[in-house]
Each structure stands twice: as structure tokens, then as C-alpha cells.
Amino acid sequence: MNFKLKVWRQKGPNVAGQFVDYEARDIPADASFLEMLDIVNEGLIKRNEDQIAFDSDCREGICGMCSLVINGIAHGPGKAKTSCQLYMRRFKDGDTIWVEPFRAITFPVVRDLCTNRSALDRMIEAGGYITARTGSAPEANSIPIGKVVADLAMEAAACIGCGACVAACPNSSAMLFVSAKVSHLGLLPQGQPERTSRVVSMVRKMDELGFGNCTNHYECEAVCPSEISASFISRLNRDYARAATRQAAVLV
């Protein structure tokens, strides 16, 4: 298969970038999108040209590093997959494919298709943890957890922190990411001691870092590779309202 690529090239965060045309030739239909970029880079190396910089790690849809916007869609066309799980058979032979980094003021471009998404880590630092001892596995029946709660917690825990929700949102909101992290821990007994401080700290850190507000576009849910439900945002709003009220009552 042969493709025409329009790839965003940018040498650094303070340098203007632009789309550059490339030819991707003789690409196997079963190659992943990242493998296709590898093949293109091999050709650039042979011609002594700068390789296209892009992030990757596990290439199994687990780590969330492969943060690409492909034809205007975070992680590319299709549902419940990351860029490394997008295969070239999804496209037609001869297609023109636009490739760019995640676009958000909180995700500054480092080089080409690589962005700095450490803002997500700083929100986790603000409260996405528990203080319960985790040195050894507890007895399975020592803390009974109902199936409904367990299933919800597991659904929220599936978030891989890729940031696609931020890139897809017109407001660059991180509400889906934060709601998943807050709900995952807030639903479980081990996360109760910090439940109030966690939601307040993470939401305030989100605002401080410059992420936008949620206005219910649901683009985040549409591109999430783990199919995290936007209903967790409602849960986050309820938890935040209760937590903020309790903190205000204590101050009074």
C-alpha cells in the first residue's frame, strides 16, 4: 500500500512548525500506524534526513504514549484503540493522511509529533494516590466490595492517561481524565481517607494548569481508547460539590 503523508514537523517548542509532505511506499496492510512511521523513518535515514520524532513505548495499547492526531482525530479513526493499534488496512491505498501532535495549550510540542504531557502527572501528584499500606496483598475477603462498585472502579481504573480526551475536547478539558482517577480511588474503601482532599486538590490543580472546563461535547468519550464513560464527570462534579461544602463548613 502507498500513502501520501502530511506530517507536522517542528524542531522545538519555541520554533514555528509546518506540515511536510512524505511518501509512504510499500506499506504492509497489517502494519500498525507506528510501524508505518518506522518504515518512513528508515527511508529518511538512508537519505540522511531528519527522522520524524514521535512517542511510543509498549505498542500494545497500554502505555498511552502514542499520542497522535490522525486525520483530525485523536488516535485516528475507529473506537477503543490507540495510535499503535491502528492498522494501515483501515485506510485506502493512495490515501492522503494528516499526522500531527495532540493539540492543547497544556501539551506543548517538544519536537515534531512529541508533546509534553507532564501536566497529567502533576494532577496525579496533587491527589491521585492513597495512604493505605500496600506492602503485601490483603486477604481477599477482608474488605468486601460489591460487584457494582467493583465494576465501576475497574472501569475508571482502565484510563491509561494518554491525554486523547484533552486533545479532542474543544476546551482542552481534562475532566474525563480527572474524573476517572478520582472515581477509581473514591469508589474503593482504600481511597476513602483522602476522598475529600483528593477531589478538591486535583480539580484545583487542573484549573491552575490551564485546562478548560467541560461543556458536554462528549468528544472525550468518543476518542477514549479505554471507552471511559463521561458519566464519571457527573460523579466528579457531585464529589467536588460535597467536598467543597465540607471544607467550607470546617473553615466557618
- At residue 169, the pLDDT reads 97
- pLDDT over 90 (residue 143): no
CATH code for position 234: 1.10.1060.10
Q: Do residues 172 and 195 share a domain? A: yes
Q: Do residues 155 and 73 share a domain? A: no
Q: Do residues 228 and 131 share a domain? A: yes
Q: How confident is the model at residue 135 (pLDDT cuts 50, 70, 90)?
A: confident
CATH code for position 67: 3.10.20.30
Of the candidates 111, 133, 236, the residue with the CA atom closest to the CA atom of residue 189: 133
Report residue 69 as a C-alpha cell.
492526531
Domain boundary among 111, 129, 146: 111
Distances (CA, A) of 222 to 133, 181, 236: 36, 18, 19
- At residue 86, the pLDDT reads 97
Q: Do residues 40 and 96 share a domain? A: yes
Q: Do residues 131 and 234 share a domain? A: yes
Domain boundary among 86, 111, 136: 111
Burial (CB < 10 A; 0-12, 13-18, 19+), residue 39, is middle
Q: Do residues 124 and 244 share a domain? A: yes
Alpha carbon distance 83, 95 (integer Å): 17
Alpha carbon distance 129, 111 (integer Å): 31
**pLDDT, mean over the chain:** 94
- At residue 131, the pLDDT reads 82
Q: In terms of residue numbers, what domain contains 12?
A: 3-111
Q: Do residues 47 and 127 share a domain? A: no
What tens digit of pLDDT does each residue of 29-80 get? Answer: 999 999 999 999 999 999 999 999 999 999 999 999 999 999 999 999 999 9
The number of folded domains in the chain is: 2
- For residue 25, give the amino acid letter: R
Q: Do residues 107 and 125 share a domain? A: no
Residues of the chain above pLDDT 70, percent = 97
User: SS3 string of the chain?
Assistant: CCEEEEEEECCCCCCCCEEEEEEECCCCCCCEHHHHHHHHHHHHHHCCCCCCCCCCCCCCCCCCCCCEEECCEECCCCCCCCHHHCEHHHCCCCCEEEEEECCCCCCCEEECCEECCHHHHHHHHHHCCCCCCCCCCCCCCCCCCCHHHHHHHHHHHCCCCCCHHHHHCCCCECHHHHHHHHHHHHCCHHHCCCHHHHHHHHHHHHHHHCCECCCCCCHHHHHCCCCCCCHHHHHHHHHHHHHHHHHHHHHC
Q: Do residues 101 and 177 share a domain? A: no
Q: Do residues 19 and 103 share a domain? A: yes
What tens digit of pLDDT does each residue of 170-223 get? Answer: 999 999 999 999 999 999 988 999 999 999 999 999 999 999 999 999 999 999
Domain boundary among 44, 77, 111: 111
Q: Do residues 29 and 65 share a domain? A: yes
Q: Do residues 183 and 87 share a domain? A: no
